[in-house]
Chains A and B, each alone.
Chain A
Amino acid sequence: MQRPRLSEHSGDPTASPGVSRRSFLRLIAGSVAAAAAPALLAACGGSTAGQTPASGQSSTASTGGSAQSTQAPAATATQSTQATSAAGTASTPAASASPAAASVPGQGTAITASSVDFANLDPAVGHDGATSNLQKHVYDSLYRHIGNPVQLVPWLATGNEVSQDAKQWTFHLDSRAKFQDGTPVTANDVVYSTQRLLSINQGTAYMFKGVLSSSGVQAVDDHTVKFTLDNPYAPFLHATTWIFILNSAMVKKNEQSGDQGKKWLTTNAAGSGPFVIKNWQQGTIYQFDADPNYWRGWPTPHVSSWVYQLIRESATERLSLQQDKIQMANWLSVNDMKLLQQTQGVVVPSFPSLSVYSIKLNNQRGPTSDVHVRRAIAYAMDYKALLDYMQGRAVSATGPLPPPIQFSKDLTYYDTDLTKAKAELALSAQYKDGFSIDFTYVTGLDEERTTGLILLNQLAKLNIKVNIVAVEWVNAVATFSDPNKSPLMFPIYSASDFPDPDAFLWSSFYSGSAGTWSGASWYKNPQVDQLLVQARSTTDQTQRNTLYEQAQKTILDDAVEVFAMVQAGGLPYRNSLSGSLYSPVMGSSPWWYDIAMKA
């Protein structure tokens, strides 16, 4: 059940998946932004089946590097925790470097185009790819994900201390931090922002369910905040990147009828981030200026302003990029990406992203409730055909975890093998003679439709008749919460909000997640539940890896989903741009704080 990985991409990044219904693509989460760096996939060669990306060739070395580096920050905290004193606390060294004494002035206005509009800027409410990128520019958080490979760096915090039981996290704020109106960022603002997120109960509040209560966050002093978790949560440091710190006084001043500032924050910001809103024309363009008074300064060359422009047609975006009317483009079609690859002055990068494309199989009803049927489908799937369709904009999946964080070297995956598929189906008492099944996909998404066609062709050889059904995304979402209505086969991109196995595995395979978009498979396995609970409860990374490996093996053995491919990350951009153009974490790129534009 082993197949080569990362060998299909030829260094010829071409097109992004067809995404003609973009209005809901933001919901797929985790679509990442553009890149700047050597095309890692161009360097990748064949890899031995069963090897992790970390052990593969050059391009995989990059992804392996990112896997290692994404784990490093947690490992650092763990190591510090292990070296605790009797008091049971440890501290990480202050990791934030002092900014340069003199700030580099900004230069130029960069325009990035997209077909996806911002939903809601309120950091306690809006949470999708486009909006989160904006939030990360106008707000700061205690820590940030930056770069590729991803680094988790202290930002508003200078460091943290975590107790041995991973339940008490203490953060020390950078005394220089101040909001855009000049007022200092204090521990009370962190407390307010956290409690506000939890009480509004939208956006990223799900990350803290069963982890943190409102009463669990306290200001020890003006620059020290302490989180006491309800239950140990190893990736808590990652999760803090999604608590955007609000200027509590400003928000309170703009409250209307006790709405906690929700109405005002929809299109206004009360943050300490490096960019301020200069121009907000809903549905048209949004402009953000670099704040020359940003408290961390501007140590590197950067743009003085960036513009987010709505261009709804892929061809228009592509042409605009080719003519340098815009400097970066998002949500382009496969064909347009291919055309851009041949355009002088345009860089079309391709990196393994954190976005896993899998076919969710309903584990609770119909033929897919039978593990033998699921395995048969996984064996029958023609993975290469799908990758060929993607024309270099995807790589092979590495199971439930995407290549950048897949650490396990000991997993075996399903390769296309009709012999094994037939043998597996023959083990099913009820379905061995064949059956009819619906493949449901979101109308307008060509790669999903193509997946259905591939399965139609392949499963016909097993006497399984596939009916391809197109639905609107909003209708599909409505069915997920009922296993009797949730589709039997449904392709979906699953990304996560931070590069930790918990973020992927918990949201898709923990039984309590069943019924969410990510949990549309309705997988319920107490053994896996226990493994996942244990894994998030310890900061010992070695132990976590062992537990996650066991969980992944079970998930793969149960053929919960068909892990078909991993989307390539990276947006096309003009070569006049340089800097932090790509990071696989949702919303972390482009990171205009560190992007310069040549005149």
Chain B
Amino acid sequence: MGRYVVRRVLLIVPTLVGLSILTFVVSHLMPADPAKLAAGPRATADMVQTIRHEYGLDRPLSVQYVTYVRDLLRGNWGTSIISQHPVLTDLRLYLPNTLELVLASMTIAIGVGVPLGVIAAVSQNRWPDHLSRLFTISFVSLPSFWFAIILQLTIAFTLGLLPVDGQLPTLTAPPHRVTGMVLVDSLLVGNLPLLWTAFQHLILPAFVQSIGAMAIITRMVRGDMLEILGQDFVRTARAKGLSARRVVLGHALRNAFIPTLTLIGLSFGFSLGGSVLVETVFDWPGIGLYAVNAALSADFEPIMGVTIMVGFIFIVLNLVVDLLYGVLDPRIRYT
């Protein structure tokens, strides 16, 4: 097992190298000129060249890539051409916000999706199953952007039950920064009123972000549960007199959960990169918006930074998921 983990960790490096090369090449193949964009509408050719030179864009691509990697290894993730902010500073600023949003949304997705899937499986073809099907098909079909605006209009603006947008009220100072996640930092500094406010601000965006994954998790759990519940060992467990709860949750779900675990890992990764719509509607200053703005500006170094960071998280997440397989199913062992 230990060797397996070490091997997987060592594989992170070539994986990220490949990812960085691919991203670098693709982003530079675009017919774009971020230096000209940054220079402005009336910038002269020499002004554009000044920016190009400052960011090394006038050097051969291979030299640019090698320089980028060298700087990366020294902890310098580059600088945005458009904003001239260091990429690492921006990532430190925006990534925790998205992590907070994604963690909350996945908590909702798993916390609701798994039980709903179990209930649907156990109540197959009865009204709880039909109702869950209605919810899951609706949630997976609803455009998240549209759903976000609808919730904002009704729950926030019209009913005034929850805040409209942002992580905190406009004039409220954020807590002292520890993790960068407002909710967590509020808890860590012991500011309970701020914690409550931050929680209220998180509810709507996290819920909207969760619905897609929630729907898929529900259907996946239902399907796998149905398959497992029909197997001999479950029949045996029932025959032995185990309670329904123990059979379903202790035996069936544990076996049915492995595919769902894979899905959860993938959903987490996709949420990390696909949160831009929710971030836009709720003005959540996350990495999705940052990445989209960078892409629209052909801002190479933020694009690279986001890709590498999200790629790294994705790889680590997959490793954690793979290791969890072994926890769920002792028959799975890695060498």
Contacts and interface: CB of A to CB of B under 8 A. Distances in A.
Interface string A291-333: 0000000000000000101111101100110010100000000
Contact of B36 (A109, A128, A480): A480
B157 A323 contact: yes
A111 interface: yes
A29 B170 contact: no
B237 interface: no
B30 to A, nearest CB: 7
A507 B84 contact: no
A307 B94 CA distance: 21
A311 B44 contact: no
Contact of A475 (B31, B44, B86, B167): B31
A478 B33 contact: yes
B93 A283 contact: yes
A125 B297 contact: no
B93 A474 contact: no
A474 B297 contact: yes
Contacts of A125: 84
Contacts of B67: none
Interface in A477-531: 477-481, 494, 507, 512-513, 515-518
B40 A515 contact: no
A481 B42 contact: no
Given A23-B293, A283-B93, A475-B30, A202 B37 contact: no
Contact of B164 (A206, A287, A320, A516): A320
B159 interface: no
B40 A474 contact: no
Interface in B28-51: 30-34, 36-37, 39-48, 50-51
A454 interface: no
A111 B45 CA distance: 39
B85 A266 contact: yes
A475 B47 contact: no
B297 A516 contact: no
Contact of A29 (B41, B280, B293): B41
B269 interface: no
A203 B40 contact: yes
A477 B33 CA distance: 7
Interface in B258-303: 280-281, 283, 285, 289-290, 293, 296-298
Contacts of B86: 263
A201 interface: yes
Contacts of B174: 281
B66 to A, nearest CB: 21
A122 B30 contact: no
Interface residues of B, number: 49
B285 A481 contact: no
A281 B296 CA distance: 22
A474 B41 CA distance: 12
Contacts of A316: 152, 164-165, 281, 283
Given A205-B47, A313-B281, A316-B281, A478 B170 contact: no
A98 interface: no
Chain A interface size, as a band, is 35 or more
B96 interface: no
Interface in A312-362: 312-313, 315-316, 319-320, 323, 325
Contacts of B41: 27-29, 494, 507, 516-518
Nearest to A305: B171
A311 B33 contact: no
Interface string B191-203: 0000000000000
A143 B44 CA distance: 25
Contacts of A481: 33, 36, 45, 48
Contacts of B40: 27, 29, 127-128, 203, 206, 517
Contact of A120 (B83, B290, B293, B298): B83
A282 interface: yes
Contacts of B30: 474-475
A192 to B, nearest CB: 19
Nearest to A310: B283
Contacts of A285: 166, 170
A283 B94 contact: yes
Interface in B11-60: 30-34, 36-37, 39-48, 50-51
B42 A518 contact: yes
A209 B283 contact: no
Contacts of B290: 283
Contacts of A203: 40
A435 interface: no
A262 interface: yes
Nearest to B167: A284
Nearest to B30: A475
A588 to B, nearest CB: 18
A518 B153 CA distance: 40
A21 interface: yes
Contact of B37 (A122, A266, A283, A473): A473
B173 interface: yes
Nearest to B280: A312
B82 interface: yes
B170 A309 contact: yes
A296 B167 CA distance: 37
Contacts of B280: 312-313
A21 B296 contact: yes
Contacts of B166: 284-285
Given A284-B285, A307-B171, A325 B83 contact: no
Interface in A453-491: 472-475, 477-481
A356 B86 CA distance: 35
Contacts of A313: 149, 280-281, 283
A262 B83 CA distance: 11
B92 to A, nearest CB: 11
Nearest to A21: B296
A485 to B, nearest CB: 8
A389 interface: no
Considering residues B44, B166, B293, which has the most beta carbons from chain A within 10 angstroms of its beta carbon? Answer: B44
Contacts of B43: 202, 206, 516
Interface in A533-587: none
Contacts of B44: 206, 209, 512, 516
A427 B90 CA distance: 57
B300 to A, nearest CB: 11
Nearest to B172: A285
A427 to B, nearest CB: 33
B50 A474 contact: no
A119 interface: yes
A215 interface: no
B47 A478 contact: no
B31 to A, nearest CB: 5
Contacts of A307: 170-171
Given A313-B149, A475-B30, A319 B83 contact: no
B296 to A, nearest CB: 6
B173 A507 contact: no
A279 interface: yes
A111 B33 contact: no
19 contacts: A28-B41, A202-B43, A203-B40, A263-B86, A267-B85, A281-B285, A282-B285, A283-B93, A284-B166, A284-B167, A312-B283, A316-B164, A316-B281, A325-B170, A474-B32, A479-B31, A481-B45, A515-B45, A516-B43
Query: 9 tightest A-B contacts by CB?
Result: A283-B285, A478-B33, A517-B41, A201-B50, A474-B32, A507-B42, A474-B298, A312-B280, A206-B42
Interface of A: 21, 23-24, 27-29, 109, 111, 119-120, 122, 125, 127-128, 200-203, 205-207, 209, 262-263, 266-267, 279, 281-285, 287, 307, 309-313, 315-316, 319-320, 323, 325, 472-475, 477-481, 494, 507, 512-513, 515-518
Given A206-B44, A262-B84, A481-B45, 14 more contacts: A24-B297, A27-B37, A111-B170, A201-B46, A201-B47, A266-B83, A266-B85, A309-B170, A310-B283, A316-B165, A325-B170, A516-B41, A516-B44, A517-B41
